[in-house]
């Protein structure tokens, strides 16, 4: 086979690199994944089951561990819906409207990415702590925020705030405002336009952002560590409980709880992959329709 024909075959395969270069890159990628992803997960599972399944189950049934699991789920159940509302509203405002202060709103959305989670926790302590700006007033009215569940929720909301908005803003900007304007011209109200036009167009990006937000909410450590006070059985989430157990040399119990976090992460990845697959299938179906009837694939 001549050299030009080899180049044509490689171009048809999507690359003009030699076969050994492709296999080298694939090998490096697989080696990296094995070393930094598969091997740590295997180590966590091995250590968690080192003393048997009974010890593993007992570690998860322990009251402090169950309290940490429950608090983590409660925090995510509160923080994610709040960020869902804030994220959709912020993305809609940024992508669909022009107004004074738009640049400031965009900056505020990105702020948690620029601020360390530990610093965010310290800010909440400064504002709501016993010696903070609102501390005396909160003490007078017997309201506890710091070292209690409300502080943990606030810290989690702060660090996870950008995920949904940042997922939706570029998607909404790429879609433009033509469909919304057409709906309004035809007599639709603002809510009708959102529910029947905007929301169906962003549903896959919205689900993807919710998944990322939920994953970060359950795994957050820095900000929650500052505001929780590490009260065992009361304000320790799962990541904090893992640290406590590990520092007390209860390695099997620590890895058992850590393995549960890893399982939740794997479930999140599976859900994410399914959503991406369904989104790609829907886009392919839309692309195969005649240009004058693109809405039928979305309706299907």
First to last CA, the chain: 48
pLDDT band of residue 71 (cuts 50, 70, 90) is: very high
Average pLDDT of the residues in 66-76: 94
Q: Name the residue with tokens 């598969």.
A: 38
pLDDT tens for residues 161-200?
Answer: 999 999 999 999 888 888 888 888 888 888 888 888 888 8
Q: Which comes out higher in pLDDT, residue 226 or 273?
A: 226
Separation between Cα atoms, residue 160 and residue 50, nearest integer Å: 34
Which of 35, 63, 97 is closest to 236 using CA atoms?
Answer: 63
pLDDT tens for residues 132-144?
Answer: 899 899 988 889 9
pLDDT tens for residues 82-103?
Answer: 999 999 999 988 988 888 888 9
> If you average pLDDT over every residue of the chain, what do you get?
86
Q: Is the pLDDT of residue 27 over 60?
A: yes
| Residue 94, helix vs strand vs coil | helix
Q: Report DSSP state, residue 145.
A: -
pLDDT tens for residues 246-283?
Answer: 999 898 899 999 999 888 888 888 888 888 788 788 77
pTM: 0.81
Q: Which two tokens stand for residue 188?
A: 């639709």
Domains by residue range for the chain, with CATH: 52-285 (1.10.3720.10)
Q: Which two tokens stand for residue 52?
A: 């048997």
Query: 156 burial class (0-12, 13-18, 19+ CB within 10 angstroms)?
Result: buried
Q: Are 241 and 68 in contact (CB under 8 A)?
A: yes
Query: 74 burial class (0-12, 13-18, 19+ CB within 10 angstroms)?
Result: middle
Which of 74, 82, 230 is closest to 159 using CA atoms?
Answer: 82
């Amino acid at each position: 086979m001549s050299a030009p024909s080899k180049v044509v075959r490689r171009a048809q395969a999507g690359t003009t690199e030699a076969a050994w270069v492709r296999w080298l890159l694939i090998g490096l990628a697989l080696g990296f994944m094995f070393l930094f992803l598969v091997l740590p997960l295997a180590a966590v599972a091995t250590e968690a089951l080192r003393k048997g399944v009974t010890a593993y189950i007992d570690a998860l049934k322990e009251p402090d561990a169950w309290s940490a699991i429950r608090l983590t789920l409660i925090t995510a159940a509160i923080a994610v819906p709040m960020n869902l509302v804030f994220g959709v509203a912020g993305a809609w405002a940024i992508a669909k409207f022009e107004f004074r202060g738009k640049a400031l709103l965009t900056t505020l959305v990105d702020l948690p990415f620029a601020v360390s989670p530990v610093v965010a926790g310290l800010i909440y302590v400064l504002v709501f702590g016993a010696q903070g700006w609102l501390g005396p007033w909160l003490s007078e009215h017997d309201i506890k925020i710091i070292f209690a569940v409300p502080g943990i929720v606030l810290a989690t909301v702060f660090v996870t705030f950008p995920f949904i908005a940042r997922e939706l803003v570029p998607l909404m900007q790429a879609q433009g405002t033509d469909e919304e304007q057409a709906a309004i011209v035809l007599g639709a109200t603002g809510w009708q336009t959102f529910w029947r036009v905007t929301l169906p167009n962003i549903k896959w990006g919205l689900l993807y952002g919710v998944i990322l937000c939920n994953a970060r909410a359950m795994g957050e450590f820095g900000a929650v560590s500052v505001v929780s006070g590490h009260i065992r059985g009361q304000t320790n989430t799962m990541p904090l409980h893992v640290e406590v157990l590990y520092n007390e040399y209860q390695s099997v119990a620590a890895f058992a709880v850590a393995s549960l976090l890893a399982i939740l992460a794997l479930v999140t990845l599976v859900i994410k992959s399914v959503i991406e697959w369904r989104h790609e299938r829907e886009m392919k179906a839309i692309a195969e329709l005649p240009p004058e009837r693109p809405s039928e694939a979305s309706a299907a």
